[in-house]
Amino acid sequence: MTTAPTDQAQDQHEHEHQRVSVLLGTEDLTIEERPVPTADPGDVLVQVAAVGVCGSDVHYYRHGRIGDFVVDQPLVLGHELSGTIVAVGDGVDPARVGERVAVEPQRPCHRCAQCLAGRYNLCPNMRFYATPPVDGAFAGFVTIESEFAHTLPDSVSFEAGALLEPLSVGIAAVRKAGIVPGSSVLIAGAGPIGVICAQAARAFGASRIVVSDLVPERRERALTFGATEVVDPVAVDIARELPPFDAFIDASGAPRAVADGIRAVGPAGAAVLVGLGNSEMVLPVEHIQNLEVTVTGIFRYTGTWPVAIGLVASGQVDLDSLVTGRFGLDDVREALESDTDPASLKSVVYPNGVPAV
């Protein structure tokens, strides 16, 4: 392993072991001490600063699986992260040691048909952080391919750097939805992904951004994160009472929200399914056919980090204000269960200690 003769690299050598939060089974967490990984050729070693808690982490914690991905052995959760490069593998510029980075938490094979076509998110050989059996980032240190460690400007905090991952989901969604200046979009769900999609839609030029949610507090909060208006989907028949939308993004996973949202899309519009919901749903097929509505999903992202960094650094997207809870490694359980609080939006775990705010 090649390292630069810097204080950061030398400090790393003093850390032979790290503390790691490990999911042993459903709602069963423990802290383990493990060796610090070594950066392989082409990789960098990152000392983790901040890790956002994602709905998928919570799903694995509570249910032990998401579809075909099953937790059948100990798993380290966490895939939204930022940190500092403390060592590099062979073939990586030693000058990168000391860089603040946001980690794109995936390892595609770079050789399959999907990778070669530029769709590396669909790589069948993908190794994605915190997706069984690949460990994630509720740990002191992680390794990643150097090109997936994206340099953070000094103006972007470690917290915002970690949340570039869900912002990447939002960017992928609005791209699929075809959002351009002047577009109208309906977003179902005012949780973290919903409000991030609203911010992304605004940054891409949408002029009408309507967010629906059952919870009044969440609806009000959406107005501060890009929504031009909010609706209660129980009180309002969205498809009948609102003008048609150019696009619909579902960030709820609720079957009724998906069906109603598709019905609200106008001719030649698009519906993008982002939320984790039922594996099968009843869809308004006649509406889809007669209006030529494109219905698609998104699976992670490709090439979104440079755009995400630009949107945050320019102030077009605010990620720091999303953080409503900060937790140390010993408090991962509380971080994972914080979603039961309606006031909670985004919780962040700090494996190497919660910084003073």
* Range from 2-16, 244-258, 328-342 carrying the lowest mean pLDDT: 2-16
- pTM for this structure? 0.93
List C-alpha distances in Å: 186 to 27, 179, 333: 35, 11, 33
* Range from 1-10, 12-21, 274-283 carrying the lowest mean pLDDT: 1-10
Six token digits for residue 275: 């939320």
Q: Provide the pLDDT for residue 356.
A: 76
Say yes or no to pLDDT of 2 above 50: no
List C-alpha distances in Å: 274 to 102, 295, 334: 22, 11, 26
- The domains of the chain, with CATH numbers, are 7-163+319-350 (3.90.180.10), 171-297 (3.40.50.720)
The residue assigned the tokens 């000094």 is 154
* Range from 33-42, 221-230, 242-251, 337-346 carrying the lowest mean pLDDT: 337-346
Q: What are the strands, taking DSSP E only, across the chain?
A: 17-25, 28-35, 43-52, 65-66, 69-70, 80-88, 100-103, 106-107, 127-128, 141-145, 149-151, 184-188, 208-212, 229-231, 245-250, 265-273, 294-297, 323-328, 346-350
Which residue type sits at 233?
Answer: P
Please report which confidence band the pLDDT of residue 357 belongs to, taking 50, 70 and 90 as the band edges.
low
The predicted-structure confidence for 144-198, as pLDDT tens digits, reads as follows 999 999 999 999 999 999 999 999 999 999 999 999 999 999 999 999 999 999 9
β-bridge partners, 323: 346
Q: Compute the 3-state secondary structure of the chain and give helix, strand, coil in percent, each to the nearest 5.
A: 30, 30, 40
The predicted-structure confidence for 59-105, as pLDDT tens digits, reads as follows 999 999 988 899 999 999 999 999 999 999 999 999 999 999 999 99
Say yes or no to pLDDT of 12 above 50: no
Whether residue 103 contacts residue 148, with contact meaning beta carbons closer than 8 Å, is answered with yes
Report the C-alpha gap between 102 and 129 in whole angstroms. Answer: 14
Say yes or no to pLDDT of 10 above 60: no
The residue assigned the tokens 């048909």 is 113
The predicted-structure confidence for 241-268, as pLDDT tens digits, reads as follows 999 999 999 999 999 999 999 999 999 9
DSSP string, 148-182: GEEEPPTTS-HHHHHTHHHHHHHHHHHHHHT--TT
